[in-house]
Amino acid sequence: MTNARITAIGMSVPENAVDNKYFENIIDTTDEWIVSRTGIRTRYHAGPDVFTSDLCVNACRDLTSRYQVALDDVDMIIVSTVTPDQPMPSMACRVQYKLDLKFAGAIDVYAACAGFSYGIVMAKGLIAAGTHRKVLVIGAETLSRITDFTDRTSCMLFGDGAGAVLIEASEENGIGACVTGANGEGGIDLYLSGFADQIDGQPITTSRKIVQNGRKVFKWAVTKMSEQMPVLAEKNGLSLDQIDWFVPHSANLRIIEAICNETGFPFEKTLESIVNFGNTSSASIPLALYSGVQSGKVKRGDRIMLLGFGGGLAYAGTVITW
């Protein structure tokens, strides 16, 4: 079995930063409420001519500008998104075309906030199987396009952005054992409307927007992730105090705090992207990891637990060695 490790990381967000004051003008809310209930201070919204595939390509360009790596022999591109420019062609094919990656296969995964972690699990599997050696995994969203700006309970949460990692066959075992799982019965609590008019016989709204039962998703996230953290550590032969950094999906800073309270994991050893970027779904974990790496917090050899969770409801995680 061939080992795999992450050898480079890049990111991109659109130019337009949106602060909490913006929401004070369009819904009944305050900067204080948003900060205290979610942790979010800023998020970025794509302009009319910026699409998810542009953010993917810019994140890859950032990656190559920072690391001495070549992408021309990438043999698979995996993009996680729930906001593709179009359902077809896939975003992975757009990236393959725009970066002229002649030898790459291309596929999108569709697992919302868990999608980037699923992409890592899949890349590890392809490399372990010996069929591929160099895989780009990208998490990218333009959630502002599917945000209901009349919904005061959700519109301030979402942001746009992309993160990309290069995963290569390696002597070192840089991507450890994984957990994956789903609670599909919670599909009614977090969905993108506009495709069907019911879920399991329950009527749903039909405009194409994110609809969520925030409290239910919050509770599920805290309970399930607190259960999965020690499971994932144990699968990797580790205890939680041997994990240097925890990078959960950044849905809400209070969710991260609550998971830390439940598991006893120190909050200071978490990396987040919620404060500066909002909830960017597929992009949130690579954005958080990127900030940890660029700030110098994450050092070579650190053990980092990634745990994505969200729409589906679904989750996936692994422990990487940086």
Looking at the annotation, which residues are catalytic?
A: 113, 249, 279
Give yes or no for residue 210 binding ligand ACO (CB under 6 A).
Answer: yes
Give yes or no for residue 29 binding ligand ACO (CB under 6 A).
Answer: yes
Pick out residues in 45-104 that bind ligand ACO (CB under 6 A). Answer: none
Shortest reach from residue 50's CB to ligand ACO, in Å: 19
Query: Which amino acid, residue 128?
Result: A
Give yes or no for residue 145 binding ligand ACO (CB under 6 A).
Answer: no
Chain position carrying tokens 């992408």: 71
Task: Give the contact letters, 188-207, x = binds to ligand ACO (CB under 6 A), - = no.
Answer: --x-----------------
CA 44 to chain centre: 15
Shortest reach from residue 295's CB to ligand ACO, in Å: 25
289: nearest Cα among 78, 18, 59: 59
Q: Which residue is nearest to ligand ACO (CB)?
A: 214
Q: What is the 3-state secondary structure (H, E, C) of 186-233?
A: HHHHEEECCCCCEECCEECCCCCCEEECHHHHHHHHHHHHHHHHHHHH
φ, ψ (nearest 5 deg) of residue 97: -70, -50
β-pairing verdict for 202-203 and 3-12: unpaired
Using the rule CB under 6 A, give the single segment among 31-39, 89-97, 127-135, 231-239 that binds ligand ACO. Answer: 31-39
Pick out residues in 275-314 that bind ligand ACO (CB under 6 A). Answer: 279, 281, 310-311
Give yes or no for residue 41 binding ligand ACO (CB under 6 A).
Answer: no
Nearer residue to ligand ACO within complex by CB, 53 or 279: 279
Shortest reach from residue 26's CB to ligand ACO, in Å: 10
Dist. CA 209–CA 143, nearest whole Å: 9
* Cβ–Cβ under 8 Å, residues 85 and 58: no
Query: Which amino acid, residue 54?
Result: D
Binding site for ligand ACO (CB under 6 A): 29, 33, 37-38, 112-113, 152-153, 156, 190, 210, 212, 214-215, 217-218, 221, 251-252, 279, 281, 310-311
